[in-house]
Structure 1
Amino acid sequence: MRYKLLVIVLLFCSLRGMSDAIHEIIEVKWDLIDTETGKANPVSRLTIINPTDKPISCNDWSIWFNYMRRIDPLSVDKRFSITHKNGDLYRLGFEEANLFIPAKGKLEINYVTKGLVPNFTDVPSGLYVLNEKTNETNNIRNYDINTDVFTPAQQKIKLAAQYDINNKNLGGEKQLIIPTPQTLQLKTGKGFVLSGSTSLIFQPQFEKEAGRIKEFFKSTLGIDLSPVKNNGSVVSFVLDKNLGAESYKIEIQSNKLEIKASGTAGAFYAIQSIKSLISANQWKKSSSVVLPELSINDSPRFGYRGVSIDVARNFHDKSAIFRIIDAMAMYKLNKLHMHLIDDEGWRLEIKSIPELTEVGSRRSAGYSTGLSLQPSYGSGAIASKNQYYTEEDFIEILRYAKENHIEVVTEIETPGHSRAAIKSMQARYQKYLALGNIAEAERYLLNDPLDLSIYSSAQYWSDNVMNVGMPSTYRFISTVIDEVKLMYKKAGLEMKQIHLGGDEVPRGSWEKSPKIKSLMDSLKMTSVYEVWPYYISRISDLCKEKGLTLAGWEEMGMKNDGKGMKVNPALANRGIRLDVWNNIVGGGQEDLAYKLANAGYPVVYTSASNLYFDLAWRNVFDEPGHTWAGFIDLYKAYSFLPTNFFLNITEDSKGKKVTSALFEKKERLTAKGKQNIIGIKSGAWSEKILTTDRQEYMLYPRMLALAERAWAKETIWEKNNTFDKSAFDKDYKNFVAKVGEDELGKLNVINGGYHYRLPAIGIKEAAGKLLLNVEYPGFDIFYTDNGEEPGLRSEKVGQSVAYDAKKTYKFRVITAEGRMGEVVTL
């Protein structure tokens, strides 16, 4: 008996001793059990592996992770539990007493996801171990995601489908410039020879832009323009006061390249057209470049041509923003919307309220102290440092954007999506309360401590809505706006607008708040739904007092009478600019942008169906991105018709075929409404965009399609009542040819190269051969048939290779610069 007790004690001690280093010892793997595309409620599996020769006790520790989908807790084996905490944070616990992982053994935990798990970026992330007794946390070091989920037969079907998609879009005649000018007339002639003997002349107001083109020609083409006028060819900048602020003319003849503009913006955009006109092959050091003779008369279709970047969910530093600005400038995009604030992070220093970044920019497993936010989107146990822009950083961004004729639109999200601000102000409250300074503690408090309202936001938060019945909420918003406005002033700019969010306040908010009840009683409100338009009116007045235009998401122009959100015409005369994203086909709001524009609201059409670049390119497991609004490849982005959205829709967001009957009762734009569509904008929410490389993968080349739709004039196939698909497809092929053969090559040169999405390979078996193509031209495929990974020394593929079913083939796209795409195995 004494011997048995000794063995039990030794075993117990060995198990307890291991628990301190669990995060270093265990290996965790994730697999998708159901790989059928589009299958509802699929089964996934987490496997916890013990690679050691001693059993590991499961007492006293748990695994925590982030997961963007909802897990059915009843689907989990009763030995375990998976509990939703808040947002996307889950706890995996061990419920069976004295459960252990056997030596060289494993535990498998299957669970059902509500909805779909369509690709690898939906998987559990940021796994860490919590010691339940000591509260010590550490990130799990060995975590593997199985992305090889397709059988060989499924892989063949997927690659053949990609081949057919690629094949439809190849073979175009390269368009000359992206975005397409309003008018471009090619002329016959020998062309304009640009060389070192070409002189540069300009009027004084164009000195800066003349310097830009001189620097581009010298650094990129190796051609140094002469400052002395001679009898040879000449590049000139000429003032034309009859042109609009962003308009320009270009005249290229055998002996001159003349740019006309009324100011620097037009001259700047003319330079971008010259850059686009010069092919990627000519973007190299040479003694001369020949340009075609032509005339261009150009103006933008929309005054607001925007890119929205979310740096709140996952932070992207100043250098990443500079790279985006450079690319935007090259394609004549002029509004950078920075989503700086959300539930998961506050990313802008506000010096008078330092807690916003001291608490709101940090995420850690120690969040229960109130000194950080909880882990989100794979951030893990340990808080990262300096995940925000200092005031100096932001001023640099403002100035750099201005130099490139881009306005930064600052978004301070309110009243929903505000958990980072709320938690930061709770920490501030506790700090000043401990000092006995109640007035200072309550100065910027954003939540009512007695509020018992129950709700769940779109991202499953239960505590992310500011209380708009408290004066301290408006005091907070006012102070933040004042400090942001001062940053613009320090940058030498006038801040003209502020974006205050306004989207996705969940049902149930404020319903059981004493502060809201007091507000309603004072204003004789009969329903909590009346609080929403009251809030919008109040912040609209606040912005007006500060000389600012209020901008926000579509809900700012809407109200709820208890039967869902609908247009609120009562606020249309306030000039509130709305970003309207909800046009999801099959969702019922396909005409929302048009309803709001017709009602009198200025609308920036931010189409989730076409321009949300955080959405996955295609419905395959190895493609990153969200899927809730469908899939957006280059074709889908290009196909967006801002003023005639329904004309070319053939599928809903789930990929099911639809007919025009779906839109028969939908509201069309009136003449007034069409004037109120003031621009278009892309979105890139960053839940799944953790790095600069992933950000650029998601943005490019789709941003080029955005530029085309934002700048180029309304097309003939957009104006008509019937969609001319053959004319559209011809234009798209020409666009793709320009993108693949020229523009992506230029993105290899700028800023050391961008990490754009390389084209997908298509493969189809036919007559003893594998037929191959790529999504857009200008890229080479390399392959092996001996099991090795393809590299630049491997054999280059033409249009096909001989196929031997006994061999394993590996293919990948490799650029001339050596950048390698994903390996495709067949």
Structure 2
Amino acid sequence: MQFTSKYLFLTFCLFASSVIFAQHNIIPTPVKYENTSGMFMLDNQTAIRVNTKDESVTKMAQGFVDFLSKAGTNVELLKNATDKVPSKVISLNLANAAISEIGTEGYTLEVNDKEITINANKPAGIFYGLQTLRQLLPANFESLDYPMGIGMIMGCKITDYPRFGWRGLMFDDSRHFFGVDAVKSYIDKMAQYKFNVFHWHLTDDEGWRIEIKSLPKLTEIGAWRVERNGKFGENRPYPKEGEKATYGGFYTQEQIKEVIKYAADRNIRIIPEIDIPGHSMAALAAYPELSTLKQPKFVNPGSKFAEWYGDGKFEMLIENTLNPADEAVYTFVDKVMTEVAALFPSEYIHMGGDECYHGFWEKDPSVQKFMQKNKIKDTHELQSYFVKRVEKIINSKGKKMIGWDEILEGGLADGAAVMSWRGMKGGIEAAKMGHQVVMSPTTFAYLDYTQGDKSVENPIYADLSLRKAYSFEPVPEGVDPKFILGGQGNLWTEVIPNIQFANYMTYPRAFAISESVWSPKESKNFENFISRTEQHFTRFDASKTNISKAIYDPIVIVTKDGEKLMVTLQSEISNAEIFYTIDNTYPVNYGTKYTNTFEVPEGELSLRTQLYRNGQPVGRLLQISREQLLQRIK
């Protein structure tokens, strides 16, 4: 008995000290946060009271009860006003008179000794208030292995609401097929950090992932490719004659409905993308007659089928583009969009429109004849013709069209929205024309880009650090904010074969995106953000969810001073020391503490460097040969 009392007391002290430290670790940071006196102990003597008859709020409350139960805390859910209220309660209230400040997705949250109160105008606000409450709990509540059953929450008052209505992540399900459970788990994490748009990239050259019942070959053929391993590109061979396509999969329409409902329960709407007229190799494998050459195609297994020349210029080696001069193509698009529109309740359908190669159109006599007949001066106008036809089809299904910024080329369809990915330029142009815009530029929002040093990460053609992602500002100077719907991060999956690695590439950079589209612009502070991010590392570790900790790795900058090879080391975190060696010795903490730029002399040498905090390594050891350093000279 004495041991138990001491254990509980020590546990109480441990939680109290950790929670005091954790109170300012909410991501995205709230609009207003105020510490108050008091402390709420969440334990089995707590109840959740739903003070509304709205069934969706009751469902949200039950979801939170289930979350607490998995963490070892069993709380009672009170649904009736006549239920006896225990001494400690979490109250969920929909306002009778609207609280104008918080809008439809905002909430207020107050914590005192006996009660936690969440007020909102709409159920979405209750949901986000519960996500914030979840973050106020100790990290061990995310653990299935070591549930503690009690948690201290320090007194506070929070008023919070989003800056933008579109807070999204795009998930590429074509390059690799992930499946229902993986997509649901990805949506779960999005919801915790107050994202509300899941942009589902369902078709591309590497696979068609959505069942279209009127066009069965799209999934019978287009959803499967021959299996290949390793990096996408020229080292991946084309299919061999007679080789069976066994790698891939697709979502049935019933599975799509299941995922849509799952997302809606978490205040997330799904925007489907059917990428046309380019990126259509999987569709053409099923229906080659929709191309100009009408030759048999295969679903690309990640093999090289384009030459890239820089500045966005490229040449397709295999036709992957629908024929805009063929009326059968529009019949095909109509069938696809009819079924997509019937499945997805979202306002928008994304039609892609990016990286469309015009070379096959330029060489095809029937396309040229069509252009002359319709007084289309060039293939840019031809693509615009296609986009406008597609928009009419989408509009006829009761939906609005959105596409990548290439849909601006040749003239933009009147009601189309633009998703700006090639920097901010396309978004600025579209906004100044009076079109709605979602900003998702490569510069800040491409989550497949390398996030740490190339010696320990998968190197691809571009980098995106957490600091750079955090500097994302969706409203460019000189643009009317009313045309900016919001922003999103994009996760392309050429080098991401499973959901755990998808999480690694998404987080923590998605934290940065979330804060840019939810929190007030003036509240952003990178040092404070990094401090909060580190606390969320603990939460991800507790839930056994992969997350990148590349911020703990040194940043290596290489320059030349005359003939001298010079290295500068930097860190994303401020309270750490960098140690290094350049004489092939290790461990590095017995080498040199970094203070200034240094020279790496000639010879068969390697730079070894690592971050330390309080005498302990916090990041990975980088080892980069002198030859590799030379290749990095800026």
TM-score bin, normalised by smaller chain = 0.7 to 0.9
- 2:417 aligns with 577
The answer to whether 1:255 aligns with 2:104 is no
The answer to whether 1:337 aligns with 2:130 is no
The answer to whether 1:314 aligns with 2:166 is no
Map of 1:81-120 to 2, 5 A cutoff? Answer: none
Map of 1:369-380 to 2, 5 A cutoff? Answer: none
- Going from structure 1 to structure 2, the CA distance change for 1:365 and 1:678 (only over 3 Å counts) comes to closer
The answer to whether 1:757 aligns with 2:564 is no
Secondary structure at the aligned position of 1:621 is classed as coil
The answer to whether 1:184 aligns with 2:53 is no
The answer to whether 1:603 aligns with 2:437 is yes
Secondary structure at the aligned position of 2:134 is classed as helix
Q: Which letter maps to 2:397?
A: K
- 1:433 aligns with none
Give, in whole Å, the separation in 2 of the partners of 1:691 and 1:174: 33
Q: Which letter maps to 1:447?
A: T
Displacement of 1:614 in angstroms is 0.6
2:439–2:486 contact (8 Å) kept in structure 1: yes
Which one of the candidate residues 328, 350, 368 is aligned to 1:517? 368
1:347–1:357 contact (8 Å) kept in structure 2: yes
- 1:540 aligns with 391
Give, in whole Å, the separation in 2 of the partners of 1:340 and 1:823: 38
TM-score (norm 2): 0.75
Q: Which letter maps to 2:138?
A: S
Displacement of 1:375 in angstroms is 9.6
Q: Which letter maps to 2:547?
A: Y
- 1:232 aligns with 87
Secondary structure at the aligned position of 2:188 is classed as helix
Give, in whole Å, the separation in 2 of the partners of 1:621 and 1:502: 35
- Going from structure 1 to structure 2, the CA distance change for 1:704 and 1:616 (only over 3 Å counts) comes to same
Displacement of 1:225 in angstroms is 4.0
TM-score (norm 1): 0.59
1:759–1:774 contact (8 Å) kept in structure 2: no
Give, in whole Å, the separation in 1 of the partners of 2:255 and 2:522: 41
The answer to whether 1:748 aligns with 2:548 is no
- Going from structure 1 to structure 2, the CA distance change for 1:353 and 1:223 (only over 3 Å counts) comes to same
Which one of the candidate residues 207, 217, 224 is aligned to 2:68? 217
- 1:395 aligns with 257
Deviations 1:793-823 (A, max 9, x none): xxxx9xx95559xxx999999xxxxxx9966
- 2:466 aligns with 634
1:334–1:407 contact (8 Å) kept in structure 2: yes
Alignment: residue pair count: 534
1:345–1:361 contact (8 Å) kept in structure 2: yes
Deviations 1:695-736 (A, max 9, x none): 2221111111111111111226xxxxxxxxxxx6xx212211
- 1:267 aligns with 126
- Going from structure 1 to structure 2, the CA distance change for 1:230 and 1:361 (only over 3 Å counts) comes to closer
Secondary structure at the aligned position of 1:180 is classed as coil
- Going from structure 1 to structure 2, the CA distance change for 1:526 and 1:581 (only over 3 Å counts) comes to closer
Deviations 1:379-419 (A, max 9, x none): 98763345222333322222211121111111111111111
Secondary structure at the aligned position of 1:683 is classed as strand
- 1:195 aligns with 43
Which one of the candidate residues 478, 490, 495 is aligned to 1:669? 478
Give, in whole Å, the separation in 1 of the partners of 2:89 and 2:453: 51
2:40–2:153 contact (8 Å) kept in structure 1: yes
Q: Which letter maps to 2:509?
A: R
- 1:591 aligns with 425
- Going from structure 1 to structure 2, the CA distance change for 1:461 and 1:550 (only over 3 Å counts) comes to farther
Map of 1:271-420 to 2, 5 A cutoff? Answer: 271-281=130-140, 283=142, 285-364=147-226, 383-420=245-282
- Going from structure 1 to structure 2, the CA distance change for 1:509 and 1:708 (only over 3 Å counts) comes to same
1:223–1:288 contact (8 Å) kept in structure 2: no
Q: Give the root-mean-square deviation of aligned CA atoms.
A: 3.8
Give, in whole Å, the separation in 1 of the partners of 2:252 and 2:363: 38
Identity between Structure 1 and Structure 2 (%): 28
The answer to whether 1:624 aligns with 2:417 is no
1:200–1:229 contact (8 Å) kept in structure 2: no
Give, in whole Å, the separation in 2 of the partners of 1:618 and 1:460: 31
Displacement of 1:775 in angstroms is 6.0
Give, in whole Å, the separation in 2 of the partners of 1:641 and 1:592: 15
Q: Which runs of 5+ in 1 are unaligned?
A: 1-171, 367-373, 430-444, 489-493, 560-567, 584-589, 645-667, 717-727, 765-771, 782-788, 790-796, 814-819
Deviations 1:81-118 (A, max 9, x none): xxxxxxxxxxxxxxxxxxxxxxxxxxxxxxxxxxxxxx
Q: Decide which structure has the larger Cα Rg and report it.
A: 1
Q: Which runs of 5+ in 2 are unaligned?
A: 1-20, 296-304, 309-313, 556-568, 579-585, 593-605, 612-617, 625-634
Give, in whole Å, the separation in 2 of the partners of 1:579 and 1:226: 42
Displacement of 1:459 in angstroms is 7.5
2:349–2:400 contact (8 Å) kept in structure 1: yes
1:614–1:625 contact (8 Å) kept in structure 2: no
2:439–2:474 contact (8 Å) kept in structure 1: yes
Give, in whole Å, the separation in 2 of the partners of 1:234 and 1:744: 29
